[in-house]
Amino acid sequence: MVDGDHNIRLKALNLFENSSLGASVLFIPILANTLTGSYMLVGMIAAGYGITQAFSYAYFGRVADRAGAMVRFVRLGFLASSLAFFAHVLAYDGLTLMLVRLAAGVTTGMYAGAMLALSHDKGNNGKLAGVVSFGSLGWLMGTIASSMVQQLSNSYALAFILAGSIFLAGFITSLGLKVGPAVSKARIVVGSSLLHLARKNCRIYASFMLRHVGAAATWSIFPIFLNQELRLNSIELGSIYALNALTQFLFMNTVMKRVRSDANTHMLIQIGVLLSSVVFLLYYSSSTYMHIIPAQILLGISWSMLYLGSLYILLNRSNDGEKASSTALLESSMSISIIIGSLVGGIVAEFAGLRSVMLLSSLLCFASFVITVNDWRMRMRGPMSIKLQNISHNLSSRYARMLKHLTS
């Protein structure tokens, strides 16, 4: 019963975290533009947040592993994040907003690695999938809630108060987390440096980053594409984003909870990045709202496979003193990818058009697929390796033919 309560609290924390981030993310660019009047400064504020978050993920994940006190870092992170998001209300110019966004980047990186480590049991991927799935549900709930609050009150401040309150609720929930004696009293000896972990898992991080750079490039212009080229209204825009989150939640709680073997995990990552490539090709060729719907469903499935598959491999490979560090590095790579991808997306869109960004995203995802295939081929020998190579070669050939057809 105690373990059941612990698991429920971890799901609630993932729900609260992503609800809060979703509640604030819609209005931060608008607030930044209002306070600065400069698109360049809006980009700098966004980049500042991503940079501090990336360093915070890596640093606090490492410290949590060294201290062996995962629960303590979850509590500290949620309390600090609550204060940081409440502080958004106090921003009155570009400088003060930059400062609170830098602080938010630090605080949201405090708990991530520790919470993922707490959510994983060796040999039980289903527990992690169940916990992470509530993040997708939370993102959906947070964006809807903040949109309603802003619409009714015509105040961005209330949206940030909502975000801070949700993090505070998460802190209160974290107080009931069980602290095991091995975690609370014993310091775990950590033999591997962050550099060693990065080298050990370099292909996982590289393929993940490459895919996410491509994705971030498209996300930077995606709302503009939907609004200007496909002429979607506000309700249709909201439904497009909601469908992706809902698909993730359902897929993680069904298919991804049943993944057990390491071979299946590697195959899921390969399928995930290849499906991501197909998703961006579908965006590239879409002309109506109905074309986007199947793409969003595929997107939810592909992201679930890639993200959870990567976490499964990292956590199952890691020793007890490496779990928070290895997963935190994955989160860091995501933050860095968003910065790079956003810059790339803006530049390509400026000189080559919106649809060119999606084509580039598809190519980057396919490059990620090639990396994952090579990684798994190096780790396997014998008949199974040959079979996987043949499957990968067939998929590559079909992708190349599809790309040639769409671009001809």
Q: Which of 201-205, 217-221, 234-238, 287-291 has the lowest average pLDDT?
A: 234-238
298 or 31: which carries more pLDDT confidence? 298
Buried b (16+ CB within 10 A) or exposed e, 360-382: bbbebbbbbbbbbbebbeeebee
Token pair in block for residue 325: 């560090």
User: Residue 40 pLDDT more than 80?
Assistant: no
User: Residue 27 pLDDT more than 80?
Assistant: no
Q: Tell me: do 96 and 213 sit in the same domain.
A: no
User: Residue 139 pLDDT more than 80?
Assistant: yes
Q: Tell me: do 309 and 365 sit in the same domain.
A: yes
Beta bridge partners of 381: none
Q: Tell me: do 146 and 215 sit in the same domain.
A: no
CB atoms within 10 A of CB 57: 30
Q: What angle do CA 62, 63, 66 make, to 5 degrees?
A: 90
Q: Where are the alpha helices (DSSP H) in 154-233?
A: 156-174, 181-184, 194-200, 202-219, 222-224
Question: Hey, what's the torsion of the CAs at 26, 279, 334, 254, to 10 degrees?
Answer: 90
User: Residue 295 pLDDT more than 50?
Assistant: yes
User: Residue 335 pLDDT more than 80?
Assistant: yes
Q: Tell me: do 175 and 254 sit in the same domain.
A: no
Amino acid letter for position 147: S
Residue 301 belongs to domain spanning? 193-408
CA distances to 4, 9, 90, 268 from 178, in Å: 11, 10, 35, 32
State the total domains in the chain: 2
- Tokens 């992690």 appear where? 128
Could you tell me the sign of the dihedral formed by the alpha carbons of 223, 228, 229, 231, in that order?
Answer: positive
Q: Provide the CATH number for the domain around residue 62.
A: 1.20.1250.20
Assign 140 a pLDDT band (cuts: 50, 70, 90).
confident
251 or 65: which carries more pLDDT confidence? 251
Token pair in block for residue 376: 């798994």
pLDDT for position 375: 62
Assign 405 a pLDDT band (cuts: 50, 70, 90).
low
Q: Tell me: do 48 and 3 sit in the same domain.
A: yes
What's the CA gap between 78 and 88, in Å, rounded? 16
Residue-wise pLDDT for 369-379, tens only, equals 988 887 666 55
Q: Tell me: do 283 and 371 sit in the same domain.
A: yes
Q: Tell me: do 160 and 204 sit in the same domain.
A: no
What's the CA gap between 394 and 239, in Å, rounded? 35
**What is the average pLDDT across 326-334?**
90
**What is the average pLDDT across 145-159?**
79
Assign 241 a pLDDT band (cuts: 50, 70, 90).
confident
What's the CA gap between 303 and 283, in Å, rounded? 16
Query: Do the beta carbons of residue 41 and residue 94 sit within 8 Å?
Result: yes
What's the CA gap between 227 and 354, in Å, rounded? 12
What's the CA gap between 68 and 163, in Å, rounded? 29
pLDDT for position 284: 95
pLDDT for position 360: 95
150 or 244: which carries more pLDDT confidence? 244
Q: Tell me: do 95 and 204 sit in the same domain.
A: no
Given 185, 206, 221, which residue is the final one in a domain? 185
**Three-class SS of 105-151:** HHHHCCCHHHHHHHCCECCEHHHHHHHHHHHHHHHHHHHHHHHHHHH
Given 185, 202, 221, which residue is the final one in a domain? 185
CB within 8 A of 26, min separation 6: which ones? Answer: 143, 146, 147, 150, 159
Query: Do the beta carbons of residue 9 and residue 173 sit within 8 Å?
Result: yes
pLDDT for position 402: 56
- Tokens 């497009």 appear where? 240
Residue-wise pLDDT for 342-390, tens only, equals 888 888 888 888 899 999 999 999 999 988 887 666 555 544 445 555 5
Task: Indicate the average pLDDT of the chain.
Answer: 83
Q: Tell me: do 202 and 223 sit in the same domain.
A: yes
What is the C-alpha radius of gyration for the chain, rounded to an integer number of angstroms? Answer: 21
Q: Indicate the SS3 state at residue 259.
A: coil
User: Residue 339 pLDDT more than 60?
Assistant: yes
Assign 325 a pLDDT band (cuts: 50, 70, 90).
confident
What's the CA gap between 306 and 258, in Å, rounded? 15
User: Residue 73 pLDDT more than 60?
Assistant: yes
Q: CA nearest 277: which of 359, 344, 350?
A: 359
pLDDT for position 378: 58
**What is the average pLDDT across 242-264?**
83
Q: Rounded to an integer, what is the distance from CA 164 to the centroid of its chain?
A: 20
Q: Tell me: do 50 and 181 sit in the same domain.
A: yes
**Dihedral pair phi/psi, residue 260, rounded to 5°:** -125, -50
pLDDT for position 183: 44
What's the CA gap between 397 and 50, in Å, rounded? 37
Q: Tell me: do 109 and 225 sit in the same domain.
A: no
Residue-wise pLDDT for 74-130, tens only, equals 999 999 999 999 999 999 998 999 999 999 999 999 999 999 888 876 656 677 888
What's the CA gap between 387 and 207, in Å, rounded? 22
Given 125, 153, 185, which residue is the final one in a domain? 185
26 or 213: which carries more pLDDT confidence? 213
Q: Tell me: do 80 and 205 sit in the same domain.
A: no
